[in-house]
Amino acid sequence: MSRQGEAAPGAADLAAELRESGSEVVVAACDVADRDALAALLGRYPVNAVFHTAGVLDDGVLDALTPDSAAIVLRPKTTATHNLHDLAGEVSAFVLFSSLASTTGGAGQGNYAAANAHLDAFAERRRAAGLPATSVAWGAWGGGGLAEQETRARRMSQGGLTPMRPELAVTALEQALDHDDTVITVADIDWDRFTAGFAATRPSPLISGIPEAVVPEGPAARAEARTGLRARLAGFDPRSAHDAVLAEVRDQVAAVLGRAGGDDVPATKPLKDLGFDSLTAVDLRNRLAASCGLDLPATLVFDHPTAEAIAVLLAGQLVAGADPAEAVLRDLAGVEAALSTDTLDATTRTRVLTRLRTLVDDSAGGEPGGDLDDATDEEMFDLLGTKFGLS
**Binding region for ligand NAP (CB under 6 A):** 1-4, 8, 31-33, 53-56, 76, 97, 99, 138, 140-141, 145-147
H runs (alpha helix) in the chain: 11-20, 35-44, 67-74, 80-87, 100-104, 110-128, 150-158, 166-178, 191-198, 218-233, 238-257, 278-292, 300-303, 307-318, 324-339, 346-363, 377-388
Nearer to ligand NAP, 6 or 367 (CB): 6
Q: How far is the CB of 57 from ligand NAP (least distance, A)?
A: 8
Q: How far is the CB of 97 from ligand NAP (least distance, A)?
A: 4
Q: How far is the CB of 73 from ligand NAP (least distance, A)?
A: 9
Cβ atoms of 295 and 219 within 8 Å: the answer is: no
Residue whose CB is nearest to ligand NAP in the complex, by number: 145
Quickly count: other Cβ atoms within 10 Å of residue 238's Cβ.
20
Beta-carbon contacts of residue 165 (< 8 Å; ≥ 6 apart): 142, 143
Beta-carbon contacts of residue 327 (< 8 Å; ≥ 6 apart): 238, 239, 321
Q: How far is the CB of 169 from ligand NAP (least distance, A)?
A: 9
Q: How far is the CB of 55 from ligand NAP (least distance, A)?
A: 3
Nearer to ligand NAP, 48 or 149 (CB): 149
Q: How far is the CB of 82 from ligand NAP (least distance, A)?
A: 13
How does 21-41 read in b/e, with b if 16+ C-beta sit within 10 Å?
eeeeeebeebbbbbeebbeeb
Nearer to ligand NAP, 60 or 145 (CB): 145
Nearer to ligand NAP, 52 or 222 (CB): 52
Q: Which helix (H) or strand (E) holds 184?
A: strand 183-186
Nearer to ligand NAP, 99 or 104 (CB): 99
Nearer to ligand NAP, 74 or 301 (CB): 74
